[in-house]
Structure 1
Amino acid sequence: MTVNRSGTAAVLTAVLCVLGTYEALAGGRGGSGSQEPEPSGQSYGKNLMSRVVFKAEGGSAKAGDTGSLTPAAVDWKPPACWYEPYWKAKDFKTFVEAQWSIYESVGGDAAGMAGDKEHYKGGKPYKDFNVDKNDKGMWWVGVKNPDMEGDPATGACERKTFWVDNGEPANAPQAIGPKILAALAYQQTRVPDTEVELKPEAKSTVNLPTWAWLDKGTFKDVEVRAELPGTGLWAQTTAKPASLHMEPGTGDAETYPASGECEFNEDGSIGTPYTRGASQHEPPCGIKYLRATSGQPYQLTASVTWEIEWTGTGGAKGNLPDGTFETTQAMNVQEIQSINR
């Protein structure tokens, strides 16, 4: 029988483009490439998508833009990769044997498949994909954090797909649990923008305080729940607004208080709304510009700090780094001209 090598190579290339490399498929090596995260459990090319799902509640009482938190701890990062339970034994067997069949049909690496057949089917160490234990455990795979593409740390979960009995630890430092889920929920937290109420609005006067405040109800606690369906594993983060920090956008200004840090009041508001006749008093939260703008307005930066705590499976709980989200507002500052008679 004559084998058309060029034709076989073309078919093999096409199959690999669709399915990814044999090693990645059979070994369950994780990642998401350029795909957006989906709780589907499907394979995209050589990548398996995490099955973690998210649900968010809370935030702004008003419609508006939202954004991701910037961790106050500059050295904090969400998990770059992790291992999670993915396959029942029979499902994994069906999936991998289908890949073997396709790979063999196009003249794939027989030696490479032989090693995996011994590993997963031949008893070294697993026998017939552990189908006799189908309801007594799961096959675990490594997946990459889709939001950290290009980070070298995503390559740390390269262990071949492995079996874990129900109730037994996964015996891997990156095995998913409440703490990892909490970090992933933190990463998915979206908070409302920070448009501060000002008096006077968008135009201040040199040496006269500009009052700043946020009404109660502007912000609500933001809750994000991350869970792995069918496993009982979950974690929920709660982000609570803690303080407002203002940067005037120029060194020729003073803030109230001097630190520029305005604390939230007990009712969830910040500062005190301006009332008629209060312009000569110092506001509990505000700014006084000492020099007028000329042409270009100052850029007032307002950032809200959010404190993050979490709870999870089995009573697990803890805190995560504070997060901040900032916006800017243009401020024109005028100078009152006086006439001496």
Structure 2
Amino acid sequence: MRRITVVVVFGACAVALSVGTPVAHAEIDNGRGSKKGTFKGDRAAAVAKGTVHYSGNGSGGNKGGGGNLSVPVGDWSPPPCWYAPTYTPKELKEKVDASPYSLTGRAPNNGRLKQETDQDIRHMYSEGEYKDFNLKKQGEGKFWAAVPNPNEKDAAKRESCTRLPFWVKNGERPDDVENAISPEILSKLAYAQITVPETRVELNPKDKQTVNLPTWVWLDKGRYRPLSVKASVDLGGGEEIWARTTVTPDSLKLDPGTENATVHPESGECAIKGDGSIGSPYKKGSGKKAPPCGVTYLRATQGGGTYTLSSTLRWKASWEGSDGAGENDLPTGEFGGQQDVTVQEIQSIN
């Protein structure tokens, strides 16, 4: 006889209601002591609801070649999953009732221990802690369930929130549940949503550069300005939690693409000025004066070749939240760009 696996998906995990290989476990409280539910979460990302709403001016910066900020700090990343209000009582009951086990009334033929676990899971929502899926409380709250982060590439991490759906009243947030959605988590999710413009510097001279003649470098202040994304979650009852993350241009790092060059300033890092600008356009009469931000090439490019000028813009991040929290504890992000430059050598006759 062929054996079939049937699953009921809850956010980032799926409760196995017949035979299958368990890949994760979670403790559940069904009113008769703690039991372990068996989960298989491979299908979670496709069915988890989008519980987080994003808004702001920071999600359109990728036009023209931009993208998300890269973070130099290797151990920082948004959470791989979280818990958020997901199912009404009716929605949860419909999801559980959709399995063949409920329709036939027969226990799955998957061994005595697994049958007991499946029955305990159903007992939890039908006769145990929640009494007929809390249908009498429809409109008073929601079942919070695990939500996988769709941007998390590691499937094991994405499916690591394995707690079964639990009831929370409208307007409330469970402080005792690890990874329950919070302003701090939302600040990180908002940060990951921000897209910035491609880093492309203005040059003078604009076309070909000249050996020993300083190249002035600056950024278009109107293009590189603070960007923000607000991430929010509706808690019901007219209440929501939110966090707004803002990134602001902070400094520009230059790499001329050759050892035969001098950068200005010597560190190669051009700081932002009080008016929000980085670098300065060339002013007539400056001659060979060293620019506040730029590069002086010491050798011409050969045979029609070019040097690759790399410019990396660093963005400082901060956030504020609905609970009054907010710190500058988000890491500085970076986004770079490259431009080919041709350097000529002016010949003079004595």
The percentage of aligned residue pairs carrying the same residue is 41
> Residues 168 and 246 of structure 1: is their aligned pair in 2 closer, same or farther, counting only changes over 3 Å?
closer
CA-to-aligned-CA distance 1:282-302 (integer Å, 9 cap, x gap)? 101100112222243111111
Match of 1:255 in 2: 263
Q: Which of the numbers 297, 301, 315 marks the counterpart of 1:306?
A: 315
Pairing of 1:5-44 with structure 2 (within 5 A): 23=15, 44=46
Task: Decide which moves more: 321-330 or 89-98.
Answer: 89-98
Q: Give the Å deviation of 1:178.
A: 0.6
Pairing of 1:129-168 with structure 2 (within 5 A): 129-166=133-170, 167=172
Report if the CA contact (8 A) 1:33-1:149 is conserved: no
SS at match of 1:307: strand
> Residues 29 and 199 of structure 1: is their aligned pair in 2 closer, same or farther, counting only changes over 3 Å?
farther
Task: Decide which moves more: 156-165 or 251-260.
Answer: 156-165
- How many angstroms apart in 2 are the aligned matches of 1:61 and 1:77? 21
Q: TM-score, normalised by structure 1?
A: 0.81
Q: Give the Å deviation of 1:203.
A: 2.2
**Residue type of the partner of 1:233?**
I
Task: Decide which moves more: 147-156 or 105-114.
Answer: 105-114
**Residue type of the partner of 1:131?**
L
Pairing of 1:268-283 with structure 2 (within 5 A): 268-283=276-291
> Residues 172 and 83 of structure 1: is their aligned pair in 2 closer, same or farther, counting only changes over 3 Å?
same
Task: Decide which moves more: 299-308 or 23-32.
Answer: 23-32
Are positions 1:317 and 2:326 aligned together? yes
**Residue type of the partner of 2:125?**
Y
Q: Give the Å deviation of 1:193.
A: 1.1
Match of 2:339 in 1: 329
**Residue type of the partner of 1:94?**
E
- How many angstroms apart in 2 are the aligned matches of 1:24 and 1:286? 62
Q: Which of the numbers 178, 188, 210 marks the counterpart of 1:205?
A: 210
Q: TM-score, normalised by structure 2?
A: 0.80
Q: Give the Å deviation of 1:102.
A: 6.5
CA-to-aligned-CA distance 1:71-125 (integer Å, 9 cap, x gap)? 13222111111111111223312322233566648985582542322222121x3
Match of 1:119 in 2: 124
Query: Which structure 1 segments of 5+ residues have no match?
Result: 36-43
Task: Decide which moves more: 132-141 or 231-240.
Answer: 132-141
- How well do the aligned residues superpose, as a CA RMSD in angstroms? 3.3
Q: Which of the numbers 241, 245, 262 marks the counterpart of 2:249?
A: 241
Are positions 1:196 and 2:205 aligned together? no
SS at match of 2:159: helix
> Residues 241 and 152 of structure 1: is their aligned pair in 2 closer, same or farther, counting only changes over 3 Å?
same
Aligned length in residues: 320
- Select the structure that is richer in helix: 1
Q: Give the Å deviation of 1:59.
A: 8.1
- How many angstroms apart in 1 are the aligned matches of 2:150 and 2:341? 39
- How many angstroms apart in 2 are the aligned matches of 1:154 and 1:18? 14
Q: Give the Å deviation of 1:329.
A: 0.4
**Residue type of the partner of 2:161?**
C
> Residues 155 and 66 of structure 1: is their aligned pair in 2 closer, same or farther, counting only changes over 3 Å?
same
Task: Decide which moves more: 214-223 or 298-307.
Answer: 214-223
> Residues 147 and 33 of structure 1: is their aligned pair in 2 closer, same or farther, counting only changes over 3 Å?
farther
SS at match of 2:347: coil
CA-to-aligned-CA distance 1:314-335 (integer Å, 9 cap, x gap)? 2221221111111100011122
- How many angstroms apart in 2 are the aligned matches of 1:49 and 1:29? 18
Q: Give the Å deviation of 1:151.
A: 4.9
- How many angstroms apart in 1 are the aligned matches of 2:66 and 2:17? 37
- How many angstroms apart in 2 are the aligned matches of 1:61 and 1:175? 30
- How many angstroms apart in 1 are the aligned matches of 2:261 and 2:293? 14
Report if the CA contact (8 A) 2:52-2:231 is conserved: yes
Query: Which structure 2 segments of 5+ residues have no match?
Result: 19-36
**Residue type of the partner of 1:241?**
P
- How many angstroms apart in 2 are the aligned matches of 1:230 and 1:245? 43
- How many angstroms apart in 2 are the aligned matches of 1:228 and 1:115? 31
- How many angstroms apart in 2 are the aligned matches of 1:278 and 1:177? 53
SS at match of 2:289: coil
- How many angstroms apart in 2 are the aligned matches of 1:17 and 1:135? 23
**Residue type of the partner of 1:164?**
V
Report if the CA contact (8 A) 1:29-1:142 is conserved: no
Report if the CA contact (8 A) 1:204-1:334 is conserved: yes
Q: Which of the numbers 206, 228, 246 marks the counterpart of 1:223?
A: 228
